[in-house]
C-alpha cells in the first residue's frame, strides 16, 4: 500500500520556495500535488510525492539544506493530534516512545526505533519508500524534526552527542551546524540521533498528569480509527491518486498492495463499491477545489478524474444543485 503523510509535513513549503527563488506551484504539480491542498494540514498526501518534491526543490534552488530549512519552519502541531500528548509526557523517553508508537498517525512511511546500550541511546529512523526514490531531503527533514523536539525538552542540559546520516556530506555545512549544533557523521551505517542514555530520564517539568490521561484517551481513540476499514483506506488512496489522474481500480489496488479482484471483494464485504467511494471522494474534494478562486474552473475537472469540463459540470450540478461557477459566486 502506498504510504501517506499528513500535508503538515510541508508546513512552510511555499514560503521557503519563494525565499530561495523557486516556484512552489510548479514543483508541487510535478509531483502530483497542488498548493491549495497544503492549506489543510490534516489532509493525507503521498509520502513518495513529498520526497520527490523535496528533492526537486533542492535541485531547483541549488540548496542542499532545503529539507533542514523546511524543518526550521515546523511546529509541534505538525504531528496532529499526537502533539496534544507530547507536551504532557513525563520524560524524554516517554516522548520518544510515544512518537514511535503513534508514528502512523502522522507519517505512514516513517519507521523509528529506540535502542539503548551501555550509556548510549540511539534513535534510528528510516523511510519506507520505493528504492528508486531519492530521499536525502526527506531524511534530513525527519531527523531535524526529531532533533528540534529533543532540543525543546533537553535544552542545553544534555544535548544529543551525534547525528548520523547514510548520505554524503553537503558542500556547505552551515545550516546543519545551526540546526543540530552537535557532532555530525556522514556516510554512517544508519540515519539517527545518538544521545546519552541518561538524557532519556530528563523530566518534563511542565507535564500535567491529569491532562495526559485525557489526551492519551483521545489519541488512543483516534489511533483505533486510524486502523481504518478497507473502505476508509481506499478513500485515502483515492484522495492521493485523483488529482494525479491515476484513480482507476487497478491503480488503487496496486497502491494498496493487492490485486483489483481482492479490492472489489473487500469493498463488497464493507457494503461499498469502488464507484460509490469514488463518487464520495469527489463530493468531498470538489467544494475545496471550486472554493479556491485562484484555481480556474477548467483545471478542476481533471483533478477529479473527469476527461472533460462539461462532464464535470453536469456531475457537479447533480451533486450540489448548481453549476460550479454559480456555487463559487454564492460562496
Task: Go through 227-239 and write b for each residue having 16 or more CB atoms within 10 A of its CB, e for each that does not.
Answer: eeebbebbbbbbb
Q: How far is CA 269 from the centre of its chain?
A: 30
As a whole number of angstroms, the distance between CA 142 and CA 125 comes to: 8
Cβ atoms of 72 and 144 within 8 Å: the answer is yes
As a whole number of angstroms, the distance between CA 194 and CA 186 comes to: 13
pTM of the model: 0.71
Digit-coded pLDDT (tens) for 146-180: 999 999 888 777 889 999 999 999 999 999 999 99
Min mean pLDDT across 35-44, 62-71, 82-91, 270-279 is at 35-44
Integer-rounded Cα radius of gyration of the chain: 22
Digit-coded pLDDT (tens) for 89-100: 999 999 999 999
Amino acid at each position: 500500500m502506498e504510504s501517506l503523510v499528513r500535508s503538515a509535513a510541508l508546513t512552510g513549503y511555499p514560503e521557503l520556495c519563494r525565499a530561495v527563488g523557486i516556484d512552489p506551484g510548479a514543483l508541487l504539480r510535478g509531483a502530483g500535488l497542488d498548493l491549495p491542498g497544503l492549506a489543510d494540514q490534516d489532509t493525507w498526501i503521498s509520502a513518495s510525492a513529498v520526497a520527490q518534491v523535496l528533492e526537486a526543490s533542492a535541485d531547483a534552488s541549488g540548496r542542499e539544506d532545503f529539507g533542514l530549512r523546511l524543518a526550521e519552519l515546523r511546529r509541534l502541531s505538525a504531528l496532529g493530534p499526537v502533539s496534544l500528548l507530547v507536551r504532557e509526557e513525563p520524560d524524554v523517553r516517554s516522548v520518544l516512545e510515544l512518537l514511535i508508537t503513534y508514528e502512523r498517525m502522522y507519517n505512514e512511511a516513517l519507521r523509528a526505533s529506540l535502542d539503548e546500550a551501555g550509556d548510549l541511546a540511539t534513535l534510528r529512523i528510516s523511510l519506507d519508500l520505493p528504492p528508486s526514490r531519492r530521499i536525502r531531503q526527506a531524511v534530513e527533514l525527519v531527523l531535524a524534526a526529531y532533533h528540534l523536539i529533543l532540543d525543546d525538552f533537553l535544552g542545553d542540559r544534555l544535548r544529543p552527542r551525534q547525528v548520523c546520516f547514510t548520505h554524503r556530506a553537503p558542500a556547505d555545512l552551515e545550516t546543519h551546524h545551526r540546526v543540530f549544533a552537535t557532532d555530525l557523521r556522514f556516510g554512517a551505517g544508519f540515519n539517527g540521533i545518538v544521545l546519552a542514555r541518561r538524557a532519556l530520564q530528563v523530566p518534563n517539568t511542565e507535564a500535567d498528569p491529569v491532562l495526559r490521561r485525557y489526551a492519551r484517551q483521545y489519541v488512543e481513540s483516534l489511533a483505533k480509527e486510524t486502523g481504518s476499514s478497507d473502505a476508509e483506506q481506499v478513500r485515502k488512496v483515492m484522495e492521493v491518486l485523483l488529482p494525479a489522474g491515476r484513480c482507476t481500480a487497478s491503480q488503487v489496488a496496486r497502491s494498496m498492495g493487492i490485486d483489483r479482484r481482492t479490492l472489489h471483494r473487500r469493498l463488497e464485504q464493507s457494503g461499498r463499491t469502488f464507484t460509490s467511494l469514488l463518487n464520495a471522494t469527489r463530493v468531498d474534494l470538489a467544494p475545496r477545489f471550486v472554493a479556491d478562486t485562484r484555481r480556474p474552473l477548467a483545471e478542476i475537472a481533471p483533478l477529479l478524474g473527469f476527461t472533460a469540463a462539461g462532464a464535470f459540470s453536469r456531475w457537479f450540478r447533480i451533486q450540489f444543485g448548481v453549476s460550479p461557477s454559480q456555487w463559487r459566486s454564492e460562496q
